């Protein structure tokens, strides 16, 4: 049965929309799209998804009369680039896109961000429906309306805030998810749980009582995904454009971005970097805000059970610090860092000093290598 969750953006765009979570892409979902009475439906996906889900796409094409408006993007982060937008804008315009059209984005965060950026800019904005196919896209990138493309000098450098009309999470897509992609979603799910006590307790119960996450059944996944999305949706509802509260979603990401940029986004997945960054955030929170030592140990145990990496990946504090200084959240040359007073109690406008960071990083190295 579909679980439905409403997201109400309270300021700026003031848009309300629903996120549906189910174990299939059911006919009710098709009806929900048809009820919107879009003039034309366009579908953007990537080569992997196109190959794996040809039958599903053909079915969708048939039911929504999409044919021949499917655009298949090359797979991978490097293709989420501004230079690839031109060709897609032209293809859509040649195929007669108009302001009442909708773009359906079928894929992971790369397709979602790219398609969302196109939808938000072509003809000054057409409708967007997100159909995420990775765990990360279901719990994170398809939710909240951040869409962007990369430049050669950095990731997500050109973007907008653009909310979709609907998000459909079909858990069945996860059956084909490559091994290394799971960790990306799990790290964000874990991060969301640290921002909300009830979600944390629920996730803790599942981790401790059930087997390895690969054996969690569909009902469990539906619940985990629902609860995780709810944390993000609540935050985004209150602060769509990250003027204050939304910054807490960057918990663990300051160090994660440094690790990713130090390795040219090649060696570690985003999730592997975020997981390590979460450990740093917890250690620094112990030192600065007396985050409980016993809770720290409990969290580390849960992360270990999920097989999330905890170590410093061999980086020196000096190197990480250098890259932290380029972080986008830094304002007026000060490093703004997200700490936790307790689970569900993030603090988002404290400064991080070099000395403080170095002590924390050394402790992480001592504890986890
Ligand atoms: N907009 C946001 O708020 C936000 C938040 C977090 C991340 N992001 C962005 O998301 C992107 C990463 O997204 P991602 O982790 O989903 O990576 P991705 O989109 O690159 O997908 C990972 C890989 O899995 C494949 N794939 C996708 N679904 C599949 C499935 N069901 N079965 C088999 N293979 C499948 C893809 O083709 C790709 O090769 C980054 O560009 C990041 O910047 C955006």
| pLDDT given for residue 15 in this prediction | 87
Q: How far is the CA of 270 from the centre of ligand 1 (A)?
A: 10
Tell me the average pLDDT across 18-25: 94
The whole-chain average pLDDT of the chain stands at: 93
133 lines ligand 1 (CB under 6 A): yes
Domains in the chain: ranges and CATH: 3-176 (3.40.50.1970), 180-368 (1.20.1090.10)
| Tally of residues, the chain | 369
Ligand 1 centroid to 204 CA: how many Å? Answer: 25
- For residue 107, give both structure tokens: 């894929």
pLDDT of 255 higher than 90 = yes
pLDDT of residue 312: 97
pLDDT score for 266: 87
260: Cβ contacts below 8 Å, ≥ 6 apart: 268, 270, 273
| Cβ–Cβ < 8 Å for 115, 79 | no
Phi/psi at 133 (5° precision): -120, -10
Ligand 1 site, residue 77, Cβ cutoff 6 A: yes
Query: Averaged over 201-228, what is the pLDDT?
Result: 93
Nearest CA-CA partner of 298 in 343, 252, 340: 343
* Tokens representing residue 159 in the block: 């973007």
Question: Which pLDDT score is estimated for 327?
Answer: 65
| CA pair distance 301, 358, nearest whole angstrom | 24
Preceding amide of 365 cis, omega within 30:
no
Residue 39: pLDDT above 90?
A: yes
pLDDT at residue 330, as a whole number:
60
Check pLDDT > 80 for residue 338. Answer: yes
Please return the burial class of 187, using the count of CB atoms within 10 Å of its CB with bins 0-12, 13-18 and 19+. buried
Query: What is the DSSP pairing of strand 16-22 with strand 3-8?
Result: antiparallel
Report the pLDDT averaged over residues 154-171.
95
* Of 60-74, 112-126, 278-292, minimum mean pLDDT range: 60-74
Confidence of residue 264 (pLDDT cuts 50, 70, 90): confident
Range of weakest confidence among 9-23, 123-137, 239-253: 9-23
* Beta-bridge partner residues of 345: 342
Q: How remote is the CA of residue 189 from the centroid of ligand 1, in Å? A: 15
Q: Which two tokens stand for residue 30?
A: 């098709």
Atom of ligand 1 nearest to the CA of 156: 43
What number is the average pLDDT over the span 91-115? 97
Residue 320 in tokens = 């990480």
Could you give the percent of the chain with pLDDT greater than 70? 98
Buried b (16+ CB within 10 A) or exposed e, 270-283: bbbbbbbbbbbbbb
CA 71 to chain centre: 23
Contact 358, 271 (CB under 8 A): no
The least confident of 79-83, 227-231, 299-303, 330-334 is 330-334
Q: Is 150 in the pocket of ligand 1 (CB under 6 A)?
A: no
Q: Looking at residues 9-24, what average pLDDT do you find? A: 87
Q: Ligand 1 pocket test: which of 105, 108, 261 has the largest number of ligand atoms within 8 Å of its C-beta?
A: 108
Give, for ligand 1, the residue of 23, 45, 48, 248 to mutate: max count of ligand atoms closer than 8 Å to Cβ: 48
Ligand 1 pocket mutation pick from 84, 110, 148 by most atoms within 8 angstroms of CB:
110
User: 139 pLDDT exceeds 80?
Assistant: yes
Q: Say yes or no: CB of residue 240 within 6 Å of ligand 1.
A: no
Tokens of residue 298, six digits: 């409990």
pLDDT band at 355 (very low <50, low <70, confident <90, very high): very high
Closest ligand 1 atom to residue 184 Cα is 15
Q: Rounded distance, CA 165 to CA 104, Å?
A: 10
Ligand 1, atom 35, residue with closest C-alpha: 177
């Amino acid at each position: 049965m579909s679980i439905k969750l409403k997201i109400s953006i309270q300021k700026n765009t003031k848009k309300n929309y629903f996120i549906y979570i189910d174990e299939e892409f059911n006919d009710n979902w098709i009806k929900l799209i048809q009820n919107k009475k879009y003039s034309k439906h366009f579908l953007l996906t990537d080569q992997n998804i196109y190959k794996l889900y040809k039958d599903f796409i053909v079915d969708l094409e048939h039911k929504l009369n999409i044919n021949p408006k499917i655009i298949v993007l090359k797979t991978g982060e490097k293709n989420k680039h501004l230079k690839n937008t031109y060709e897609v804008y032209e293809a859509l315009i040649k195929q007669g896109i108009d302001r009442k059209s909708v773009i359906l984005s079928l894929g992971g965060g790369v397709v979602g961000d790219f398609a969302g950026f196109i939808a938000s800019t072509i003809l000054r904005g057409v409708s967007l429906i997100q159909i995420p196919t990775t765990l990360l896209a279901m719990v994170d990138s398809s939710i909240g309306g951040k869409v962007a493309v990369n430049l050669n000098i950095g990731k997500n450098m050109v973007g907008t805030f653009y909310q979709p009309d609907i998000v459909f999470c079909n858990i069945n897509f996860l059956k084909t998810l490559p091994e290394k992609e799971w960790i990306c979603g799990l790290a964000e799910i874990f991060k969301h749980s640290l921002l909300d006590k009830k979600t944390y307790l629920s996730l803790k119960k599942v981790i401790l009582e059930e087997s390895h996450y690969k054996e969690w059944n569909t009902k469990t996944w539906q619940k985990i995904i629902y609860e995780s999305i709810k944390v993000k949706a609540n935050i985004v509802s209150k602060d769509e454009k990250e003027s204050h509260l939304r910054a807490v979603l960057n918990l663990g990401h300051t160090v994660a971005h440094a690790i990713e940029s130090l390795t040219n986004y090649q060696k570690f997945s985003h999730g592997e970097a975020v997981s390590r960054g979460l450990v740093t955030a917890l250690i620094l929170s112990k030192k600065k805000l007396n985050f409980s030592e016993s809770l720290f140990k409990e969290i580390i145990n849960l992360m270990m059970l999920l097989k999330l990496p905890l170590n410093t990946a061999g980086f020196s504090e000096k190197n990480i610090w250098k890259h932290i200084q380029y972080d986008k959240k830094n304002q007026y040359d000060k490093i703004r860092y997200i700490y936790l007073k307790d689970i569900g109690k993030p603090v988002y406008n404290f400064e991080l000093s070099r000395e403080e960071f170095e002590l924390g990083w050394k402790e992480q190295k001592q504890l986890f290598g």
